[in-house]
Amino acid sequence: MMTGKEYRESIRKLKRRVFILGEEVQDVVDHPLTRPHVNAAALTYELAEDPQHQDLMTATSHLTGRRINRFTHIHQSTGDLVKKVKMLRLLGRRTGTCFQRCVGWDALNALYNVTYEVDLKHGTQYFQRLTRFLVHVQDADLMSEGAMTDPKGDRSLPPSKQPDPDMYLHVVARRDDGIVVRGAKLHQTGAVNSHEIIVMPTTALKEEDKDYAVACAVPSDAPGLLFVFGRQASDERRLSGKLDQGNPRFGFVGGEAMVIFDNVFVPWERVFLHGEHEFALPLVETFASYHRQNYGGCKTGVADVLIGAAALMAQYNGVVSSPHIRDKLVEMVQLAETLYACSISCSSEGRPTPAGACYVDPLLANTAKLNTTRNIYEICRLAHDITGGLLATSPSERDLLHPEVGPFIRKYFKGASEVPAEARLRLARLIEGMTGCTALAESMHGAGSPQALRIGLARQANLNEKMELAKALAGLDEGEKP
């Protein structure tokens, strides 16, 4: 397994085209806008070295029998699924943000299950290809990025009917040695600091859409790939002092980017779906369920930090003993633990798959993520309530250091018991960043929008069975008219 230092060096060696604020950047490891995201991902390697955390952070490969980083593991049991959630909470508590390796991990687990089913029906060799690729990922301890979300263009039209066919990534050429794909993937967490891009379709497909039914693995420095790093709220503060950054080591959210596939060649050995359109939806749903499982883990870990920050701010403000403050903190805890309970339950209720892996309960996974779209907003609202107005109007670090106004800031922003002004300002910036627009939007739309979650719940709710239960208790025989 790689160390955190080795991970940084491996990313630094990649020759890619990354654009940030209109400029091409050669090294994302040291760029101030991407360095925090690299640091957060590096922690997934660093904690795997720590004997205290190896039970959660590492696993034994069922393919090779070797010890591997859990982020490259194929879940073999409900115990693996539960450890996944506990590990994500641990990392959320340590970083206060996204550590970016989940999406690619979930993509590999989804493909492991679905390629097995494709091979059974079509006699293809996708599962064998994927297994060989997995051994490579595990042995090299690579960070994979899961690329699912297409631009979609006119959402009322399927991929094959789009005025611009590139609105969904698709195959544009087939060769003896592989395929050529073109299109883009948006909102890609950790893309600029990953080794591999795992491409998947983003929606159900029909026969006429079969060119869009493609799944493959692309090295992140493959010719034709372009990365455009996304803006985040207040991201230019990373060019300022540490106080203004809020979370200077790890930043906020996951460093999302647009990934452009400008006629990218993929050898057949790295192609895991090619035209089998009927398996696009099963792949999407399998991936989505694995990914929605995560949110009660990572988001609860991040919430632990935010709850702690809100309690500390109440202490700094001299109101930590007020009954209404205690009530709000307790409510924040209840909301966070509800998310955690959902993720633990969907893991514990997992089941074996034909491929020999273990799959979460999709109904409970959807419930976990739908709760996240509400509970995180409420946790953030309560943090804002407790923190007070300095959250939105605090002066900058440069003002604090100014020879004339700095002394006034240090005087008037002091807290209870002579809490220094700088301490309150640092904490306010942390809470501001953790509850800002980018963090909330990710909680809402990451792993699927609320409507996508409701569609999943409607499919899995089995209302017919529930109606039969009601009929039995009401004494209504089959076919009897009330």
Reply yes or no on whether 189 is catalytic.
yes
Strands 23-25 and 196-199: unpaired
Reply yes or no on whether 195 is catalytic.
no
Reply yes or no on whether 34 is catalytic.
no
CA distance 83 to 242: 34
CA distance 448 to 443: 10
Catalytic hit among 37, 95, 170, 298? 298
Place of tokens 């202490």: 315
Reply yes or no on whether 256 is catalytic.
yes
Catalytic hit among 72, 95, 98, 202? 98
CA distance 390 to 305: 19
Reply yes or no on whether 442 is catalytic.
yes
Chain-centroid distance of CA 287 in Å reads 12
Q: Where are the alpha helices (DSSP H) in 123-235?
A: 126-140
Catalytic hit among 117, 170, 291, 373? 291
Reply yes or no on whether 342 is catalytic.
no
Catalytic hit among 256, 276, 397, 432? 256
Whether residue 177 contacts residue 268, with contact meaning beta carbons closer than 8 Å, is answered with yes
Catalytic hit among 45, 126, 212, 295? 295
Neighbouring-strand partners of residue 223: none
Place of tokens 């700094």: 316
The angle at the Cα of 232, spanning 165 to 342, to the nearest 5 degrees, equals 85
Catalytic hit among 58, 97, 102, 387? 102
Catalytic hit among 44, 72, 95, 189? 189
The candidate with the shortest Cα–Cα distance to 141, out of 223, 221, 196, is: 196
Chain-centroid distance of CA 250 in Å reads 15
CA distance 31 to 21: 12
The residues annotated as belonging to the active site are: 98, 102, 189, 256, 291, 295, 298, 442
